[in-house]
């Protein structure tokens, strides 16, 4: 079993290479990880099409997502938006088109190559209200209660400590702020061969936990009004599955339907309004505390 630090280093190394690949290379593999699960296919395995969205910047689209979280983000003009695992800036630039010049967009990524690429994309377009910071999701480089909306696309499954990641998301959101996150989760029992090898993938099914556990963590952190806005089964290519599953396991996995498998989910949740402090026994002169 790899340590959290070892997993982070694998992800950093892999995504440093991915930053230099084309969108086409990344789309036809598992979240761009061509060294571990590339397949010969003409269709995107996980990514969805951003090209029709306002603010789309082709150079920033590396084909790494598993959803379109900005479609459900309920952003408005003047909002401050944070993108967790911002990559080359794709979701940040789409968000900027919504929040306008009066808004602000911050991207955080732990891979220097990605941050450098995103900054170049922003600078080449003269964007003054989009910035990119180097940092980890479990320890965000932002003060508390600063952002209105948090978005993220196929990144939290790569974070070893998901509880801490959601705690940090909660911390930086303003009261009554919200997040919309697209991510990879598991549903039902996965074949042992796939489970055992999943940890080797940087971005395919690595770190994908059970859907109900994922939602439980979100509620446990304190978020309310948790809603799954979209769920889509990820169809992994037979060539990939055949490396890790027997023929019988492969047939069972392919016909599992909604009962089991690997899914993309887009989840919405809100940070509640801060409760007023309880001063019932802490008023000066009461003598109780």
Cβ neighbours of residue 212 closer than 8 Å, sequence gap 6 or more: none
Quick one: average pLDDT of 67-77? 94
Measure the CA–CA gap between 56 and 234, rounded to whole angstroms: 24
Phi-psi region of 25 (alpha: psi -120 to 50; beta: other; left: phi over 0): alpha
What's the whole-model pTM score?
0.82
Residue-wise pLDDT tens digits, 173-229: 999 999 999 998 988 877 666 655 544 444 456 567 899 999 999 999 999 999 999
Q: Edge-to-edge strands of the sheet including 261-270?
A: 130-134, 104-109, 80-84, 147-153, 173-187, 261-270, 224-233
Whether the CB-CB separation of 93 and 133 falls below 8 Å is answered with no
pLDDT at 243 over 80: no
**Domains in the chain: ranges and CATH:** 4-270 (3.40.50.150)
Cβ neighbours of residue 286 closer than 8 Å, sequence gap 6 or more: none
């Amino acid at each position: 079993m790899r340590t959290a630090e070892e997993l982070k280093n694998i992800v950093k190394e892999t995504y440093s290479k991915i930053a230099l690949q084309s969108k086409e290379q990344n789309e036809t593999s598992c979240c761009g990880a061509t060294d571990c699960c590339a397949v010969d296919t003409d269709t995107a395995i996980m990514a969805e099409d951003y090209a029709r969205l306002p603010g789309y910047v082709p150079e920033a689209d590396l084909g790494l997502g598993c959803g379109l979280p900005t479609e459900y983000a309920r952003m408005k003009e003047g909002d401050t938006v944070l993108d967790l695992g911002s990559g080359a800036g794709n979701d940040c630039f789409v968000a900027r088109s919504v929040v306008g010049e009066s808004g602000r967009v911050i991207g955080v990524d732990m891979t220097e190559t990605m941050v450098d690429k995103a900054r170049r994309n922003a600078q080449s377009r003269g964007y003054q209200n989009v910035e990119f910071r180097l940092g980890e999701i479990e320890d965000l480089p932002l003060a508390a209660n600063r952002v209105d909306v948090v978005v993220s696309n196929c990144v939290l499954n790569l974070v070893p400590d998901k509880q801490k990641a959601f705690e940090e998301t909660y911390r930086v959101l303003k009261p009554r702020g919200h997040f919309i996150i697209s991510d990879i989760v598991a549903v039902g029992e996965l074949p042992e061969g796939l489970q055992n090898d999943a940890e080797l993938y940087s971005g395919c099914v690595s770190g994908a936990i059970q859907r109900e556990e994922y939602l439980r963590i979100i509620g446990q952190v304190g978020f309310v009004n948790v809603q799954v806005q979209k769920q889509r089964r990820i169809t992994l290519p037979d060539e990939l599955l055949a490396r890790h599953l027997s023929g019988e396991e492969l047939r069972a996995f392919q016909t599992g339907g909604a009962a089991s498998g690997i899914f993309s989910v887009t989840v919405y949740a809100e940070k509640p309004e801060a409760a007023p402090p309880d001063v019932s026994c802490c008023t000066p002169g009461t003598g109780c505390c």
